[in-house]
Amino acid sequence: MNPFAELKPALALDEALEEASRCLYCYDAPCTRACPTHIDVPAFIKKIGSGNLRGSAATILSANVLGASCARVCPTEVLCEGACVLNDLHHKPIKIGQLQRHATDWAMSHGMRPFVAGTKQPGSVGILGAGPAGLACAAELLRLGIEAVIYEASERPGGLNTTGVAEYKMTPEFSLREIAWLVEAGVEVRYGSEVGITVPLGELESKHDFVFVGVGLGSIAPLGISGDRLDGVVDALAFIEELKMERSRARVGKRVAIVGGGNTAIDAVTQAQRLGAEEVHLIYRRGPEEMPAYHHEVELAKQASCRFHFLVNPSRVVGEGQVSGLELQRMRLGEPDRSGRRTPEPIDGETFVLPVDMVIAATGQKARALLDILPGVKLDRGKVLVDERTMQTSNPRYYAGGDCVSGGQEVVNAVAEGKRAATQMAAQLQQLQRQARKA
Amino acid sequence: MADLKINFAGIETPNPFWLASAPPTNTGDQVMRAFDAGWGGAVWKTLGDPIVNVSSRYSSVDMGQSRMMGLNNIELITDRPVEVNLREMREVKRRYPKHTVIASLMVESKRDIWHEMVKRAEDTGCDGLELNFGCPHGMSERGMGSAVGQVPEYACQITEWVKEVAKTPVIVKLTPNITDIVYPARAAKKGGADAVSLINTINSITGVDLDTFTPRPDVGGRSAHGGFCGPAVKPIALNMLAAVVQDKEVRLPVSGIGGISNWRDAAEFILLGASTVQVCTAVMHYGFRIVEDMIDGLSNYLDEKGFRSVRELVGRSLPSVSRWEELDLNYKVIARVDQDKCIGCGLCYIACNDGAHQSIAAEAAHGRTKVSIIEDTCVGCNLCSLVCPVDGCISMIRVDEGRPPLTWKEYSQDPKAHPHLGPANGH
């Protein structure tokens, strides 16, 4: 059996029809409100039930052009499915994610377009980054008839949606296939185009009326402790990327410690276990209540026989050339910090060494260096500051969305932000046109 | 355990559950298996001059994921020789003397042919005869079935012919494909029938194939109307049953037919005056075994309600079946929502706002829709309580305004005396 097989496989036609028939067709539905892109969930499910799959897919894609990805990677348990009224009635919400996949899979395999480009309007937008935010922004602009060019620094589109999603949720092949589908519909991506290096900032600003920044975040910061460069200390995102992109090269230790309490840490746990690790330890400096990972993700880690170590913080990586252990400092919780969570404090003299041969850091990503060169775009602790209603930055010509603004959220949030920015830029362009005509 | 035995038009039957004349009673083997399963009686698939059937005979209407909410058929009467059927009928009666076997008959509208058929059927030892004046397809085009049932004079005439020679009770099976079923029921009575059974199937086209454009069932690119039955027809059957039972001229025992699938359905027919019920579609869907719950469920229900016999249930709801003009205009209910049970789906709001009387307010609260009843304008129509998916969440509460009962007849004599019912009051 493939250890990376999908946790939530495609529904067969009769399964989909039965599930669709359970939907109550709520009015002003909670699932739709809970979705950052506000997909009209009851409408698309009703259409599955009536056999109108084309219409169902159109309902989804008009709200969220990456609806096929989101059907697979969204934490539906805390979004649409978590909001489903049937949780209150008999504790079994509608499988909204899987129904969304049913409709969007149909669309992709029946020659349907993800969107239709609108009548050409004046104006052009340069988009930095071909991740979910940039792709959604481009698709929305094209739908509104506005030229959009995506500048992607790497040679591969999709960002973390391609390389950073746990394999049992979505494969990189699927992410790339979905993007190819958008490209067929008109999305233009220029690869190897790094602003400030291969694409001068001046050129970008002269070619485009607006710039959308959707560059995401960089690699995970080193642990910053003695021994953090030893062989066997890796970045969780690099670990997951290698596993997804070059499975045959991917290696995992026998005893693995994963440092961090977020969803990326959980992904590293489950992927390390599936790759063959005998012991997987999760190291988190606060307690179980403070973990930022979703409850349903933590359950997956428990199913993967993960051993949780709470209130401990790595103080030293032990080993000579190669990792042989991780020294952990016991912690206690002090006063709440800015985020409202209680700050962990070390307990003097209480350390111990966990014998491991691999340490995976999942402790938060660094900001992209590129952000520092964008003129007049203000940052706050490495995140781009925007007006959340418009996604406009402190430089009116620059908009931004996705992880470089949020510090790391879901694909669906990035899509919503990219789309919101596109709508705003389009409105601005229209206004500029009107002003030009008057003058 | 309550007594389920009943006497129907002189026929003593072990319980009120009979199989209707249809495919489940096509052969002696089927009928014997049905009796073993617990069925009290069986009306044999209609005997007559053997016919030839088409292939592709049934089609259905589904509701959501529930199959066969309604079933349509274009099958005709038995396609097996009369003597084979009669031999099997005799054998069944010999082996199951206490069970009820009814011969269903349909022959050409000639007196001597009917006489001959009645004698041959009764010679098997069957307990009674059912005259099929209801089949709406195929046979009607040959002047039989509903072609007889739709003309009261014909129905009366043939019933008379049968009664001239019949020694067992004669049941006339009525077609619903008529403006008022009471007229053929009266004709049956006039012709001397001992009982009536109703309803036969309703003329129907169940649907059209959206790819081939041919209605179902597709018989080589053509289709014909068939007879509709199953759960979907129950409300129509119940209404016709009540109309016939309440008619002062008919006054005959009635065997109820139409969408009966379980003991609850059966109890409803019995409450409205049927003393036996006949089942077909539910058996075609699930087999003879369904009778086990019908017997068990009905007898538990009778025990719980304190009835010693099913006979005490017959017609018990009839006093409350009245004409609209006899209803109390001063009776008032309004909706009440149990907020603890409400799941916030908003269905009652949109149903009331778009489909009824705009008497529910909605606001967003904690990601859900919070509803409240606007009591001043609520007319108590029940719609919200019907669409609500949560059991017991919306109830219709009696509002006693201290007014004496008032019928339409009384109101219309002096509307001004009842200003609270005027149009200005939101009604």
The answer on A136 and A101 residing in a single domain is: no
Q: Identify the three-state secondary structure at position B320.
A: helix
pLDDT in tens, chain B (427 residues): 899 999 999 999 999 999 999 999 999 999 999 999 999 999 999 999 888 999 999 999 999 889 999 999 999 999 999 999 999 999 999 999 999 999 999 999 999 999 999 999 999 999 999 999 988 888 888 888 888 899 999 999 999 999 999 999 999 999 999 999 999 999 999 999 999 999 999 999 999 999 999 999 999 999 999 999 999 999 999 999 999 999 999 999 999 999 999 999 999 999 999 999 999 999 999 999 999 999 999 999 999 999 999 999 999 999 999 999 999 999 999 999 999 999 999 999 999 999 999 999 999 888 889 999 999 999 999 999 999 999 999 999 999 999 999 999 999 999 999 998 876 444 4
The answer on B267 and B145 residing in a single domain is: yes
Sign of the Cα torsion B35, B201, B78, B194 reads: positive
Inter-chain residue contact A26 with B349, CB threshold 8 Å: no
State the ipTM, two decimals.
0.86
The answer on B175 and B229 residing in a single domain is: yes
Q: Is residue A418, in this structure, part of any structural domain at all?
A: yes
State residue A4's pLDDT score: 86
Task: Say if pTM beats, i.e. exceeds, 0.95.
Answer: no
Catalytic residue ranges of B: 135
Q: Is residue A116, in this structure, part of any structural domain at all?
A: no
State residue B423's pLDDT score: 65
Nearest one of B262, B264, B266, B267 to B292, comparing CA atoms:
B262
State residue A338's pLDDT score: 81
Instruction: Select from B320, B350, B372 the last residue of a domain.
Output: B320
Q: Is residue B393, in this structure, part of any structural domain at all?
A: yes
The answer on B187 and B288 residing in a single domain is: yes
The answer on B141 and B189 residing in a single domain is: yes
The answer on B262 and B212 residing in a single domain is: yes
Vertex A299: Cα angle to A294 and A301 (nearest 5): 100
Q: Which residues pair with B105 in a beta bridge?
A: B47, B131
Instruction: Select from A82, A109, A136 the last residue of a domain.
Output: A109
Tell me the CATH number at B50. 3.20.20.70
The answer on B355 and B264 residing in a single domain is: no
Structure tokens at A199: 């694409």
The predicted model gives A134-143 an average pLDDT of 98
Tell me the CATH number at B412. 3.30.70.20
Instruction: Select from A109, A137, A163 the last residue of a domain.
Output: A109
Q: Which residues pair with A129 in a beta bridge?
A: none
Tell me the CATH number at A85. 1.10.1060.10
Domain that holds residue A265: 233-361
Q: What element of type H or E holds B332?
A: none
Tell me the CATH number at A159. 3.50.50.60
Q: Is residue A35, in this structure, part of any structural domain at all?
A: yes
Q: Is residue A22, in this structure, part of any structural domain at all?
A: yes
Which residue in the set A24, A30, A33 is minimally distant from B389, CB to CB? Answer: A24
Closest residue in B to A32 (Cα) is B367
Q: Which residues of A touch B (CB under 8 A)?
A: 17-18, 21, 24-30, 33-34, 49, 83, 85-86, 88-89
CA dist A362 → A171, A259, A292, A293, B72 (Å): 21, 6, 12, 12, 64
State residue B273's pLDDT score: 98
Q: Is residue A390, in this structure, part of any structural domain at all?
A: yes
The answer on B263 and B229 residing in a single domain is: yes
Chain B residues close to A86, C-beta within 8 Å: 343
The answer on A394 and A344 residing in a single domain is: no
Return the minimum-mean-pLDDT range out of A146-160, A302-316, A338-352, B345-359.
Answer: A338-352
For chain B, the domain total comes to 2
Nearest one of A370, A368, A385, A369 to A199, comparing CA atoms:
A370
Instruction: Select from B294, B320, B346 the last residue of a domain.
Output: B320
The answer on B315 and B193 residing in a single domain is: yes
For chain A, the domain total comes to 3
Q: Is residue A191, in this structure, part of any structural domain at all?
A: yes
Domain that holds residue B304: 6-320
CA dist A229 → A226, A269, A322, A328 (Å): 8, 21, 9, 17
Return the minimum-mean-pLDDT range out of A50-59, A102-111, A331-340.
Answer: A331-340
A350-371 pLDDT, tens per residue?
A: 999 999 999 999 998 999 999 9
CA distance B308 to B303: 7
Residue A336, pLDDT above cutoff 90:
no
Environment class of A90 (CB within 10 Å of its CB; exposed 0-12, middle 13-18, buried 19+): exposed
The answer on A336 and A275 residing in a single domain is: yes
Closest residue in A to B366 (Cα) is A30
Chain A residues close to B346, C-beta within 8 Å: 26-29
The answer on A378 and A345 residing in a single domain is: no
Environment class of B217 (CB within 10 Å of its CB; exposed 0-12, middle 13-18, buried 19+): buried
Structure tokens at B295: 């017997």
The answer on B347 and B225 residing in a single domain is: no
Residue length, chain B? 427
The answer on A356 and A308 residing in a single domain is: yes
Q: Is residue A93, in this structure, part of any structural domain at all?
A: yes
The answer on B231 and B380 residing in a single domain is: no
State residue A218's pLDDT score: 93
Which residue in the set A25, A27, A86 is minimally distant from B369, CB to CB? Answer: A27
A127-136 pLDDT, tens per residue?
A: 999 999 999 9
Instruction: Select from A361, A396, A411 the last residue of a domain.
Output: A361
B347–A contact, CB cutoff 8 A: yes
CA distance A307 to A365: 24
The answer on A383 and A298 residing in a single domain is: no
Q: Which residues pair with B172 in a beta bridge?
A: B131, B196
A259: phi then psi, degrees, rounded to nearest 5: -105, 120
CA distance A298 to A262: 9
The predicted model gives A198-220 an average pLDDT of 96
Residues 6+ apart with CB under 8 A from B236: B176, B199, B202, B258
Q: Which residues pair with B254 in a beta bridge?
A: B196, B274
B352–A contact, CB cutoff 8 A: no
Residues 6+ apart with CB under 8 A from B113: B107
CA distance B98 to B96: 6
Q: Identify the three-state secondary structure at position A363.
A: coil
B304-351 pLDDT, tens per residue?
A: 999 999 999 999 999 999 999 999 999 999 999 999 999 999 999 999
State residue B105's pLDDT score: 97
Interhelix angle B263-271/B234-246, nearest 10 degrees: 30
Q: What is the DSSP annotation of B242-304? A: HHHHH-TTT---EEEESS--SHHHHHHHHHTTEEEEEE-HHHHHH-GGGHHHHHHHHHHHHHH
The answer on A323 and A239 residing in a single domain is: yes
| Structural Rg of chain A based on CA atoms | 23
The answer on B100 and B10 residing in a single domain is: yes
Q: Is residue B325, in this structure, part of any structural domain at all?
A: no
Residues 6+ apart with CB under 8 A from A409: A402, A403
State residue B259's pLDDT score: 97
CA dist A257 → A119, A314, A352, A361, B358 (Å): 54, 10, 14, 9, 61
The answer on B357 and B241 residing in a single domain is: no
- Scanning B47-76 for CB atoms below 8 A from A yields 64-65
Q: Is residue A226, in this structure, part of any structural domain at all?
A: no
